[in-house]
Amino acid sequence: MVGTMDLRPLDGTVHIDGGYFCGKPRKPNRKIRMPKDALKVRFGRKAPENASQPWIEAGMTYRNWCKRANKRVVISLCQSAGHRMGSGRSMAFICTAENESEVTRLAKHFIHPESRVMTDESNAYGVLGAYVAEHYTVSHAHEFSTPEGVSDNMCETFFSRFRRSEYGTLHGFRPKYLQDYACEFVWRENHRRHAQDKRFNMLLTGLMTSSVSQWWAGYWQGRHRKEELGLDYFLARLPSTK
Q: What count of residues does the chain have? A: 242
209 contacts: CB under 8 Å, gap ≥ 6: none
Alpha-carbon span 166 to 172, nearest angstrom: 5
Q: How far apart are CA 180 and CA 3, in angstroms?
A: 10
SS3 category, 181:
helix
Question: Phi and psi of 135, rounded to 5°?
Answer: -135, 125
Q: What is the pLDDT of residue 240?
A: 65
Q: What is the DSSP letter of 107?
A: H
Q: How many Å apart are CA 9 and CA 16, to the nearest integer? A: 13
Q: Percentage of the chain with pLDDT > 90?
A: 65
The whole-number pLDDT of residue 167 equals: 83
Across all residues in the chain, what is the average pLDDT? Answer: 91
* Per-residue pLDDT at 203: 93
If pLDDT is split at 50, 70 and 90, which confidence band does 242 have? very low
Residue 25 has what pLDDT? 73
Q: Which comes out higher in pLDDT, residue 23 or 7? A: 7
The band of 73, judged by pLDDT with boundaries at 50, 70 and 90, is very high
Cα–Cα distance for residue pair 180/183, rounded to 1 Å: 5
Handedness of CA 95, 97, 102, 103 (dihedral sign): positive
Q: What value does the mean pLDDT take over residues 197-224?
A: 91
Q: In angstroms, rounded to a whole number, what is the distance separating the alpha carbons of residues 41 and 55?
A: 8
pLDDT of residue 187 exceeding 60:
yes
Instruction: Give the count of beta carbons closer than 10 Å to the beta carbon of residue 127.
Output: 15
Phi and psi at residue 110, to the nearest 5°: -125, 5
User: For 100-115, what is each residue's pLDDT tens digit?
Assistant: 999 999 999 999 999 9
pLDDT digits (tens, 9 = 90+) for 160-173: 999 999 888 888 88
Q: How confident is the model at residue 241 (pLDDT cuts 50, 70, 90)?
A: very low
Q: Which of 62-66, 166-170, 183-187 has the highest mean pLDDT?
A: 183-187
Cα torsion for 156, 157, 159, 163, to the nearest 10°? 130
pLDDT band at 227 (very low <50, low <70, confident <90, very high): very high
Q: To 5 degrees, how large is the angle CA 52–CA 56–CA 62?
A: 75
DSSP 31: P
How do strand 134-138 and strand 116-120 relate by DSSP bridges?
parallel
Topology of 13-22+72-208+226-241 in CATH? Answer: Nucleotidyltransferase; domain 5 (3.30.420)
Domain map (residue ranges) of the chain: 13-22+72-208+226-241
